[in-house]
């Protein structure tokens, strides 16, 4: 069970790469096995996770020479997050593939072989609707469209929607538009709020999570770290965490991700029916501390039968003996007649 998601918008600089990298890291931090596929010859996603651009082999070789991709996958510093780096050579693939048969399916064939290794594969597309983006749309199950909250936000979206429809009709009938992600939202401006309202009215499946404009998000790539590592408490990191949670819920609803393990809560009724049998009680060893802390009531004492044997075995301390006062009443029952005393003396004298 795995899902391939393309992040596409032919408009440049709208947050495709930032969303791919930050979302991928947030998903990996939720214990999913995630792969970033850098399908943009600019190789921004590659450097944003600290990978090098001049690694041997990669998407170009897979598309043009049909070489397997598994050897080109690189681990990142984030557990569970891998990247398929790219090189500027990928730009040549657009031209070299033009005369190739079934050229739109090269990426699909390459990525399908990687599916068993990952739960989620995110493909960062270049800012064009050329062969690389069409290959990504043909290879994926779903597409996410990042849209920047600025004046011309909707410009070009109808062109993108039309391209997606063509792909659905001719190449990939299963393709689903997962939703639009609003990026670089500035809550202080009316413009951002107007753009948000307009995008939501055109695309009801726009994610609830909105990515704010944040200087920390712009700084993170230069450190080769996703925002979730660079500044995990920043507003940008929190927004991408929310986006990841929303996406996971949607993918689980489509059965594209494993369901979470069922945790049985312990309720008072679950605890209540436990009853100790006399046998269990008898076998629990009581410590001196336990005994000292058990309150004994006069009623308890009255009902404890004391046998002569018990009394004989209780050693009396000297303190207890000293505190014992002999009253005339105690002495009265004793046989202290002169005869008795004399008898006793005689006995002693004998
Ligand atoms: N939420 C944000 N707040 C501030 N800056 C951002 C935000 N998202 C992205 N940026 C910055 O905006 C620029 C463009 O972002 P990004 O590279 O993610 O867009 P893109 O759509 O991938 O661009 P391209 O079309 O060139 O591939 C980058 O400098 C990035 O650091
Ligand atoms: Mg980019």
Check: CB of residue 91 under 8 Å from CB of residue 60: no
Q: Is residue 258 part of a domain?
A: no
Structure-token match 């009215």, residue found: 201
Are 19 and 165 part of one and the same domain? yes
CA 341 / ligand 2 centre spacing (Å):
118
Q: For 201, how many CA atoms within 13 A lie in the half-sphere containing its CB?
A: 7
Check: CB of residue 11 under 8 Å from CB of residue 127: yes
**Between residues 130 and 286, the one the model is more confident about:** 130
Are 58 and 180 part of one and the same domain? yes
Q: Is residue 266 part of a domain?
A: no
Are 212 and 339 part of one and the same domain? no
pLDDT band of residue 346 (cuts 50, 70, 90) is very low
DSSP for 128-180? Answer: S-SHHHHHHHHH-SEEEEEEESSTTTTTTHHHHHHHHHHHHHHT-TT-EEEEE
Q: What total of structural domains would you count in the chain? A: 2
Least trusted range by pLDDT, from 5-19, 88-102, 134-148, 242-256: 88-102
d(CA 222, CA 109): 33
CA 221 / ligand 2 centre spacing (Å):
11
Mean pLDDT of all residues in 106-131: 95
Mutate to test the pocket of ligand 1, among 18, 187, 210 (most ligand atoms within 8 A of CB): 18
The pLDDT of residue 304: 58
Residues 253, 227, 55, CA angle at the centre, nearest 5°? 95
Average per-residue pLDDT for the chain: 84
Are 44 and 124 part of one and the same domain? yes
Are 65 and 170 part of one and the same domain? yes
Mean pLDDT of all residues in 341-345: 49
The pLDDT of residue 243: 98
The separation between CA 262 and the C-alpha centre of its own chain, rounded to angstroms, equals 15
Least trusted range by pLDDT, from 40-44, 211-215, 256-260, 341-345: 341-345
Q: Is the pLDDT of residue 110 over 50?
A: yes
Q: Is residue 130 part of a domain?
A: yes
Q: Is residue 281 part of a domain?
A: no
pLDDT band of residue 302 (cuts 50, 70, 90) is low
CA 316 / ligand 2 centre spacing (Å):
91
Residue-wise pLDDT for 168-193, tens only, equals 999 999 999 999 999 999 999 999 99
Q: How many CB atoms lie within 10 A of CB 28?
A: 24
**What strands lie across the sheet with 142-148, from one edge to the other?**
74-75, 81-84, 34-38, 120-124, 3-7, 142-148, 176-183
CA 219 / ligand 1 centre spacing (Å):
10
pLDDT band of residue 340 (cuts 50, 70, 90) is low
**Between residues 197 and 56, the one the model is more confident about:** 197
Are 193 and 336 part of one and the same domain? no
Q: Report the chain's C-alpha Rg in angstroms.
A: 40
Residue-wise pLDDT for 30-67, tens only, equals 999 999 999 999 999 999 998 876 556 678 888 888 88
Mean pLDDT of all residues in 6-17: 96
Are 233 and 330 part of one and the same domain? no
Are 168 and 82 part of one and the same domain? yes
Q: Is residue 231 part of a domain?
A: yes
Check: CB of residue 155 under 8 Å from CB of residue 148: no
Q: HEC states along 325-336?
A: CCCHHHHCCCCC
Nearest to 56 by CA among 98, 85, 24, 33: 85
Mutate to test the pocket of ligand 1, among 13, 221, 240 (most ligand atoms within 8 A of CB): 13
Q: Is the pLDDT of residue 198 over 90?
A: yes
Q: For 133, how many CA atoms within 13 A lie in the half-sphere containing its CB?
A: 20
Q: Is residue 38 part of a domain?
A: yes
In the listed set 235, 253, 271, which residue is the last one of a domain according to the structure? Answer: 253
d(CA 190, CA 176): 31
d(CA 43, CA 60): 12
Residue-wise pLDDT for 251-288, tens only, equals 999 999 988 877 776 655 555 555 556 666 565 565 66
Q: Which residues surround ligand 2, an ion (CB under 5 A)?
A: 16-17, 44
In the listed set 232, 253, 274, which residue is the last one of a domain according to the structure? Answer: 253
Are 130 and 37 part of one and the same domain? yes
pLDDT band of residue 71 (cuts 50, 70, 90) is confident
In the listed set 253, 278, 309, which residue is the last one of a domain according to the structure? Answer: 253
Q: Is the pLDDT of residue 200 over 80?
A: yes
Are 316 and 204 part of one and the same domain? no
Least trusted range by pLDDT, from 41-45, 65-69, 115-119, 307-311: 307-311
Mean pLDDT of all residues in 22-29: 98
pLDDT above 90 covers a percentage of the chain that reads: 59
Are 217 and 296 part of one and the same domain? no
C-beta 12 within 6 A of ligand 1: yes
Q: Is residue 56 part of a domain?
A: yes
Mean pLDDT of all residues in 82-101: 86
Domain assignment of residue 147, given as a range: 3-253
Domain harbouring 79, CATH code:
3.40.50.300
Are 242 and 298 part of one and the same domain? no
Q: Is residue 275 part of a domain?
A: no
C-alpha distances (whole Å) from 164 to each of 102, 129, 137, 195, 213 are: 18, 10, 7, 22, 28
The pLDDT of residue 333: 53
Residue-wise pLDDT for 131-172, tens only, equals 999 999 999 999 999 999 998 888 889 899 999 999 999 999
């Amino acid at each position: 069970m795995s899902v391939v998601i393309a992040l596409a918008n032919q408009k440049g600089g709208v947050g495709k790469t930032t969303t791919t990298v930050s979302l991928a890291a947030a998903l990996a931090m939720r214990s999913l096995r995630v792969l970033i596929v850098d399908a943009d010859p600019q190789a921004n996603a590659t450097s944003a996770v600290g990978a090098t651009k001049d690694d041997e082999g990669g998407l170009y070789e897979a598309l043009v020479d049909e070489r397997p991709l598994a050897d080109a996958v690189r681990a990142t510093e984030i557990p569970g997050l891998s990247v398929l780096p790219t090189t500027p050579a990928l730009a040549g693939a657009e031209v070299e593939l033009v005369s190739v048969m079934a050229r739109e399916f090269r990426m699909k064939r390459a990525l399908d072989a990687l599916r068993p290794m990952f739960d989620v594969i995110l493909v960062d597309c270049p800012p064009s609707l050329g062969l690389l983006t069409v290959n990504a749309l043909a290879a994926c199950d779903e597409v996410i469209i990042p849209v920047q909250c600025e004046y011309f936000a909707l410009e070009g979206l109808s062109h993108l929607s039309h391209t997606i429809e063509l792909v659905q009709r001719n190449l990939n009938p299963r393709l689903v538009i997962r939703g639009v992600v609003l990026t670089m939202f500035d809550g202080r401006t009316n413009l951002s709020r107007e753009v948000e309202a307009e995008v939501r009215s055109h695309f009801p499946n726009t994610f609830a999570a909105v990515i704010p404009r944040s200087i920390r998000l712009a700084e993170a790539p230069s450190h080769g770290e996703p925002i979730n590592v660079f500044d995990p408490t920043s507003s940008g990191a929190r927004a991408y965490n929310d986006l990841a949670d929303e996406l996971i819920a949607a993918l689980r609803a489509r059965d594209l991700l494993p369901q979470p393990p069922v945790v049985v809560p312990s309720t008072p009724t679950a605890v209540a029916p436990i009853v100790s049998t006399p046998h269990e009680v008898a076998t629990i060893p009581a410590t001196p501390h336990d005994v000292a802390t058990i309150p004994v009531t006069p009623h308890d004492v009255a009902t404890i039968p004391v046998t002569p044997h018990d009394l004989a075995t209780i050693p009396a301390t000297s303190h207890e003996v000293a505190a014992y006062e002999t009253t005339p009443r105690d002495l009265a029952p004793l046989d202290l007649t002169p005869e008795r005393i004399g008898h006793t003396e005689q006995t002693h004298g004998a």
